[in-house]
Amino acid sequence: MSENGDDASHQLRVSKIHNGTVIDHVRAGQALNVLAILGIDGGDGESVSVGMNVPSDRLARKDIVKVEGRELSQDEVDVLSLIAPDATINIVREYDVVEKHRVERPDAVSGVLSCPNSGCITTADEPVTSRFEVLKDGVRCGYCGTIVREGIADQIDT
């Protein structure tokens, strides 16, 4: 096995965490948005490490995010899929990858994105829970129809 092979280096990096989640094959430049989505700020004993612009077989360059002591919820994975559609989620327990799957784009996400349209009912004083339909190349507000293609990460409700 080549030392520079994606699998070999991947295994090496994954094996470094004890219990937690490794998010691999994140599009280069999106790692910090991934952290934002997960609400990770390094507090509460969470140990996070980020690799940026790592050479990859599947993508030209990728980011990789390792979160010690935390497994992602389905909601988090759903939002993650919007900005990192190629990502692979590796669940690690006792240094072993016990689960590995690619993210799947959901049909819709609720309560995680805010609508950029200031006239939208979801941004009113007593807002209703936002709901966005997931399109091939973006998301569409279920209330006012505003489509967000670029900058989805900026619309994440934190």
Query: Site for Zn ion (CB under 5 A): which residue of 115, 139, 148, 152?
Result: 115
Contact region with Zn ion (CB under 5 A), list: 87-95, 99-107, 119-127, 132-140:
119-127
- Cβ of residue 158: shortest distance to Zn ion, in angstroms? 18
Q: Report DSSP letters for 79-108, one per residue.
A: HHHHH-TT-EEEEEETTEEEEEEE----SE
Six token digits for residue 40: 């990770």
Radius of gyration, CA atoms only, the chain: 17
User: Binding site membership for Zn(2+): which residues?
Assistant: 115, 120, 141, 144
- Cβ of residue 143: shortest distance to Zn ion, in angstroms? 5
- Cβ of residue 130: shortest distance to Zn ion, in angstroms? 7
Cβ-contact 109, 146 below 8 angstroms: no
Is residue 143 a contact point for Zn ion (CB under 5 A)? yes
H helix runs in the chain, sequence order: 6-14, 31-38, 74-83
Give the binding site for Zn ion (CB under 5 A): 115, 117, 120, 141, 143-144, 146
